Structure 1
């Protein structure tokens, strides 16, 4: 199978984030088995989702990880011009949910397997495919926890998020949380008898706005756009009807942090503002939704030099979007972003990747295999 055929198969699985993924995992496992490669299926604590890990070559040597996620964002937009889970080709463009983010990379990796499997590799190439990346990198930490039992400490990891095949050295870290306020309902004509959870949330939201304003004043890291950490309230819900005192309100917030800043700490002022409300009888719940650290790889590293050689492109200092790369780095593994496609096409109707981009990625992976040969 070529990369396009493999992408057609992968895109047909509606492996939407937060849903069971056994079908796509089994397809990949069976495909690898056809080349004599054993894939380790690593179930997550959810029970219906799993990571997949496989090694090509001697797993007791320091090799390189090719990392990508199998999940995709939902495709519920009404302005798709075709079935989002049926690959459709128009010239060079291959349309479908996840083609760019990031089943295109997975397809290029799997299309490289025949060449890798028949090469006399002195150092291994590992495949690390995760679940629920789109929910804040929830799957890969469980894979990383098991990695010492699966292979020798790797020399580096390539995270194949769409980068136009240009290596990327850094991205911001992220933390997200949900605050829920519980008040007391009643008729809106007697506000004195209720506790309005929407009104109470105003002080929490104001804390988020103030924190976001303060973060814009620095500290700065000019490799990022914007060059400072940021915070926003992204979703707020509360109330049933205009004449009912709302007894419940939720606010989802996220923080994105420059390197050397723990994104979770940026949420502390918002949590403090919520906790203050307990004194007035409001119930407060705080739920951490997701968190991953920033990536910051120095240009003067062997991994950055290697990807520069393999792609022929000088690394880009940083991008605004987040990936699993920071988690690999936090686990002690040098990580770099490099994959096919353009992030600007992701999470949109008629998402697509170019056939030439798949070919370029496959060539890079096969060149990595040559680098790992005896």
Structure 2
């Protein structure tokens, strides 16, 4: 099948982050196994979702993982000109549909080169590793990575994460975690504000603490000029509380995120916030004994990603990709999780992140052609015993 035909099949699976992905993952599994390559599924506990991995080539150390995710973001409320789950080939050279660039275009390229990979005399193995629930927090990749590393007797060395980057090799991104903080205060008449503990007022103070913490990190020189903005950020995006202007709010909550540069640690920042909350509770329980502040993760932290410019993966990508303008990105991905697991990682994929998550998402057909060429370059590289010894 052509890359476009494969992409058409993949786009037709409307699997959103959080949904069961068994329809698309089983179709991919059947397609791969039709070429004689055994696939392994890594299901969740409920058996409603699964990641997939497989190996093409010999069982020797030093292979490379091609990593992608099977879920997409919702289309509800977006003004699409075409059916988002029907691939539309327009005269402008682009292919339209949800997930075309993020990141089913990458998956289609991998599946397109599979027949040639199977026939190639590979000296090092090439693995496919396709996950679920990436779009709601990169949730399944850690288990997929552990399973893959434990399943095969050999040890993979590299990972290419095919997020849309217009073929630019990306060597860093920030980490992220989302939290909800709930404040339990005391209700009362608004005239008695000094006798009660307003959950809204205390939430506002905590939000200002987060802003002050961000500014303190900047003032202390926690700067990484590779990123925009070049510092860790703490941001509150949702706040709810209260029932009337003249009633002191006894309940409030706010949701916030921490996006950290690789040299900062999310847990250090969050622990400092929780310590401050403990101090506030000790103080305000003197006024209202049942005063509480509770902070919960919305999902586990996504690890920052920082690949060294002198690493072997950078040398490898330079041999197969004409674009050697290495950069960083603001979005998070599974790259940090692969890197943290000991795999030298890099982001490089077809399509533009500017087209992701919006109405009329598209990928240029030229991008798919170029990425298939990159994968064929990888195949030839991994078929060369002389070159592989250099890496």
TM range (shorter): over 0.9
SS of match in other structure, 1:133: coil
SS of match in other structure, 2:329: coil
After superposition, give the CA deviation of every residue in 1:112-154 in whole Å (9 maximum; x if it has no partner).
Answer: 1111111122211100111111222111011122122223221
What is residue 291 of structure 1 aligned with on the other side?
A: 301
What is residue 145 of structure 2 aligned with on the other side?
A: 144
After superposition, give the CA deviation of every residue in 1:23-50 in whole Å (9 maximum; x if it has no partner).
Answer: 1111111111111111111012454222
From 328, 337, 341, the equivalent of 1:331 is 341
| Counterpart check, 1:223 vs 2:226 | yes
Give, in whole Å, the separation in 2 of the partners of 1:240 and 1:28.
51
Check the 8 A contact 1:239/1:249 in 2, yes or no: yes
From 265, 268, 273, the equivalent of 2:271 is 268
Using the TM superposition, name which of 245-254 and 119-128 deviates more: 245-254
TM-score (norm 1): 0.92
Query: Displacement, 1:56?
Result: 0.9
Check the 8 A contact 1:220/1:227 in 2, yes or no: yes
What is residue 38 of structure 1 aligned with on the other side?
A: 38
SS of match in other structure, 1:359: helix
Give, in whole Å, the separation in 2 of the partners of 1:30 and 1:174.
35
TM-score (norm 2): 0.89
Check the 8 A contact 1:167/1:313 in 2, yes or no: yes
What is residue 388 of structure 2 aligned with on the other side?
A: none
Query: Displacement, 1:297?
Result: 1.5
From 159, 164, 179, the equivalent of 2:166 is 164
Change (3 A) 1:207 1:63: same
Check the 8 A contact 1:174/1:264 in 2, yes or no: no
| Counterpart check, 1:358 vs 2:368 | yes
What is residue 321 of structure 1 aligned with on the other side?
A: 331
SS of match in other structure, 2:143: helix
SS of match in other structure, 2:328: coil
Give, in whole Å, the separation in 2 of the partners of 1:286 and 1:48.
29
Give, in whole Å, the separation in 2 of the partners of 1:23 and 1:183.
47
Gapped regions of structure 1 (runs ≥ 5): none
Give, in whole Å, the separation in 2 of the partners of 1:199 and 1:316.
46
Larger Rg: 2
What is residue 6 of structure 2 aligned with on the other side?
A: 6
Give, in whole Å, the separation in 1 of the partners of 2:145 and 2:180.
26
Moved over 6 A (4+): 186-194
Give, in whole Å, the separation in 2 of the partners of 1:274 and 1:46.
36
Question: Which residues of 2 match residues 145-294 of structure 1 at below 5 A?
Answer: 145-151=146-152, 152-183=154-185, 196-217=198-219, 218-239=221-242, 246-278=249-281, 279=285, 280=288, 281-288=290-297, 289-294=299-304
Give, in whole Å, the separation in 2 of the partners of 1:82 and 1:45.
36
SS of match in other structure, 2:327: coil
Using the TM superposition, name which of 256-265 and 120-129 deviates more: 256-265
Query: Displacement, 1:194?
Result: 7.3
Instruction: Tell me how large the CA RMSD over aligned residues is.
Output: 2.2
Check the 8 A contact 1:168/1:317 in 2, yes or no: yes
Using the TM superposition, name which of 275-284 and 73-82 deviates more: 275-284
Query: Displacement, 1:52?
Result: 0.9
Gapped regions of structure 2 (runs ≥ 5): 385-391
Check the 8 A contact 2:312/2:344 in 1, yes or no: no
Query: Displacement, 1:184?
Result: 5.1
Check the 8 A contact 1:68/1:129 in 2, yes or no: yes
Change (3 A) 1:309 1:10: same
After superposition, give the CA deviation of every residue in 1:199-220 in whole Å (9 maximum; x if it has no partner).
Answer: 3311211111212222332322
Change (3 A) 1:156 1:283: same
How many residue pairs align between the two structures? 374
Query: Displacement, 1:66?
Result: 0.2
Using the TM superposition, name which of 173-182 and 13-22 deviates more: 173-182
Using the TM superposition, name which of 273-282 and 127-136 deviates more: 273-282
Give, in whole Å, the separation in 1 of the partners of 2:79 and 2:12.
19
SS of match in other structure, 1:135: coil
Give, in whole Å, the separation in 2 of the partners of 1:159 and 1:89.
26
Query: Displacement, 1:53?
Result: 0.7
SS of match in other structure, 2:331: coil
